[in-house]
């Protein structure tokens, strides 16, 4: 069974704090993704990575950064959390081979107060 695990299910942080969201997958997937999900806006791509230490911006990278030091782990960093970053964050991973499924983590509900 493929497992994509996010470090926290619920998180409450204060404005201005530095926040780390961790994602770990156990299937040796090359590609990993971070999305945020908001009502009516679907899943919006923040950053993705196709290999260790490689990263590319998605559609809404502002206010976020990422780190991929090991193949199995992809971290999303909110440098200085703001209330408009309150959202559900979903991590996903997939093999690079065309036509393979993306597997999602359970999501992290982040509230910034």
Which residues would be at the binding site for other proteins (CB under 8 A)?
31, 33, 35, 40-45, 48, 50-51, 54, 56, 58-59, 90, 92, 94, 96, 98-99, 101-102, 104-107
Q: Which is nearer to other proteins, 39 or 84 (CB)?
A: 39
Q: Which is nearer to other proteins, 12 or 102 (CB)?
A: 102
- The answer to whether residues 25 and 92 touch, using CB atoms and an 8 Å cutoff, is no
SS3 content of the chain, % helix, strand, coil (to 5): 5, 55, 40
**70: helix, coil or strand?**
strand
Q: How far is the CB of 101 from other proteins (least distance, A)?
A: 4
């Amino acid at each position: 069974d493929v497992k994509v695990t996010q470090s926290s299910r619920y998180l409450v942080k204060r404005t201005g704090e530095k926040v780390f969201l961790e994602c770990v997958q156990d299937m040796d997937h090359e590609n990993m993704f971070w999305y945020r999900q908001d009502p009516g806006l679907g899943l919006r791509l923040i950053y993705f990575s196709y290999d260790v230490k490689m990263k590319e911006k998605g559609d809404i990278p502002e206010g976020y950064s990422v780190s991929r030091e090991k193949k199995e782990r992809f971290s999303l960093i909110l440098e200085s959390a703001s209330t408009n970053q309150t959202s559900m964050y979903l991590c996903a991973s997939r093999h690079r081979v065309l036509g393979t499924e993306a597997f999602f983590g359970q999501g992290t509900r982040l509230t910034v107060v």
